[in-house]
Every structure is written in structure tokens, then in C-alpha cells.
Amino acid sequence: MIRPNFKILLTIVLIFCTATLFAQGMSAPVDALLREGTSLHDAKKYEEAIAKYDAALKMEPNNALVMYEKAFSFSASGKKDDALALLEKMVTADKSPRVFALLANIYDERKEFDKAVSYYKQGIAVAPKDGNLWYNLSISYIFQKKYAEADAAATEAIKINQKHANSQRTYAIANYNQGRYFNSILAWCNFLIMEPQTPRSVEALNYIKHMLYANVNGNNIKMSGTDKLTNVQQLAVSMAVTAGLMERKTIAAQNGTTVTALDSLTAALPAIFQVAAEQQDPKNTAFFNKYYANFFGDMAKTEYLDAFFRYITLSVFKNDNIAWLKEHQANINALVTWVNTKKRETE
């Protein structure tokens, strides 16, 4: 399979504690020291932060939150061995997701993936509805190029938090690398609903464009899938591209205009949305069919597609799209309402 040379910049999310947790189950002096330590940590004054935590631990030696924050500062300052030593002691007693996540994150950084995955899974066993653990597990699998496993973990993260853009992105990347272009294109489109104007939006559109044209060479279509499902998906994408562009060229010729760059990116998407919804391939997952295919299939039947395509391509066609959206404010408002009120099933 041809793959673009895009850098996959995947950020591991560390779980951290907020001030709302500080006052629970600890004395006022320890609470104050903990607050001071976290402020110093945020200012990247890690040694000073650790000193505050040590002072707090003299008063309450078994305070799990203080120990975690100390380990977090060890890790951030580059003292990974010290962080691991503390966390390995904690994990036997403190079964909170944050401890498993930080342990696994450090092992991911060290490329000790077996240990990382083990700790993510231990954390998930304790807190199966912690979307952050599922997301970080999917990232670990991406690092290992275990894309099917990354797909499955990202799916669980999305089920828990449908508004988590990073999980949408990871699902899209995992499916792209499996050659499942329907899955990846629709996931990227969903990501762009949440994040239309960032550097990652440009990345998303580059992925979509690559998948649209990867198997199209003029009027010829080639097959590059690794199994029946990926071949079927990629063929359908390529046929949608050629048919969509032909239609746009016909319309442009009738109007005395030309096919625009926006047309070349979006002309095929309505057909892809419709086919994804109609096929409901049993070899695909119930999650994809219900969450992505049904949603975008229904969108393809609305009058909001032009607004949708303008919105998700803001990062690459900014000036033209902003001007269009200003002139069609009622249409974009209706799209927003439709997206926000559309019920979506995940299983």
C-alpha cells in the first residue's frame, strides 16, 4: 500500500489531578503544600515541587495523591527511574487509573511496550470506563504498528467520550494503516467537525485526499487492498472519485467555469457517505456501521453538505470558505443544529 510520509504526532495524555481533589481526605497543611507543589510543577520548577511533596509526605507518609504528584514531577524532570520506583510501590495499594496511566506512559516512552500495555490493561480492568486509558492504549499500539489493536482501543475510547478529538484521530490513523478507507475517511471527517482550523486539520485533509486518489490514475483504477474488505472499500472510493469529478466537470462546462480545488477534495464524499451507509458490510464492525456510516449517510440526505464541506476545509481554503459561510449563515446554523441534535449509536 502506498502511504504518505506524514509525521504522526501522537501525544500521550497524562492524567493529572485538579485542585478540586486536593482538599479531600487530607489535612490543611498537606493540602497547602500540595497546591504549592503543583504550582511549582506547572512552572517547570520540578526540584522545588518535589521538595514540597517531600515535606507533605513527612506529615502524611501514605498520602497517595502527594506520592503520585511527586512521581509526576520525577517523570517530567527526566528522572524516570525515580518515578518508576515510586509508582511500582504505589500500584500495589493505589488502584487509581492515574497511577496505571503514568506507569504505562513512562514504559511507552522507553519503548518497553509489553510493560506499557500490561499496565494500561490493568488500569482498564480497574476502571473500564476511563476513556483516557483506552486512548493511551490505542496510542501505544500505534507506536507498535499494531493497527487492529489500536483500532479496537480507540473504538472503546470513542464509545466513552464521543467528543474526544484525539480518539477520533487515532481511530482514523489505525484504519488508514489497515487499508480501510471508508472507516478512515469518515473518522477524519468526524475529527474535522471538532477541529476544523488547526495544523492537525491540514493533516486530516491530506489523509483524505491521499485516500481519494491513491488508486486513481487518470481513468484507470488499481487495487491495493490486502483483503476483500479493503479492496471493496478502496474500489468504491476510487469509483466515487471518478464519478464525482466527471459530474463536477460536466456542471462546470455547462456554466463556463472550471473544477475547483475544493471540488477535487469533496466531490466524491457524498457518494462515499451514501455507499458506507448502504453497504453495512458485515465484515465491518457494528460500531463503524452505526456510529460513522449511519451518521454520514443521513447527512448526505440533507441540504447541509455544501456548508459541511466548507466548514471542514477551512484550514486549507480559509478565505473563500469564510466568505461563503458568512453569506450562508442560516445554512451553517442549521448544520450545527443538525449535528448537535443527531442521535448516534455506538453499538
Residue 73 included in any domain: yes
Low-confidence ranges of the chain (pLDDT < 70): 1-25, 218-221, 223-225, 280-283
Residue 183 included in any domain: no
- Report angle CA 273, 277, 281 to the nearest 5 degrees: 120
pLDDT tens figures, 299-333: 999 999 999 999 999 999 999 999 999 999 999 99
Residue 185 included in any domain: no
If asked whether residues 130 and 41 sit together in one domain, one would say: yes
At which residue does the C-alpha cell 481519494 appear?
Answer: 212
If asked whether residues 169 and 25 sit together in one domain, one would say: yes
Instruction: Look up the CATH number of the domain holding residue 171.
Output: 1.25.40.10
- Report angle CA 187, 108, 201 to the nearest 5 degrees: 30
Residue 7 included in any domain: no
Q: How many domains does the chain have?
A: 2
Residue 137 included in any domain: yes
Residue 323 included in any domain: yes
Contact (CB, 8 A) for 125 and 104: no
pLDDT tens figures, 115-141: 999 999 999 999 999 999 999 999 999
pTM: 0.87
* Amino acid identity for residue 31 in this structure: D
What residues make up the domain containing 314?
216-341
What is the rounded CA–CA span in Å between residue 343 and residue 304? Answer: 17
If asked whether residues 41 and 100 sit together in one domain, one would say: yes
pLDDT tens figures, 256-281: 888 888 988 898 999 999 988 887 66
Residue 195 included in any domain: no
If asked whether residues 156 and 279 sit together in one domain, one would say: no
Residue that terminates a domain, selected from 119, 153, 178: 178
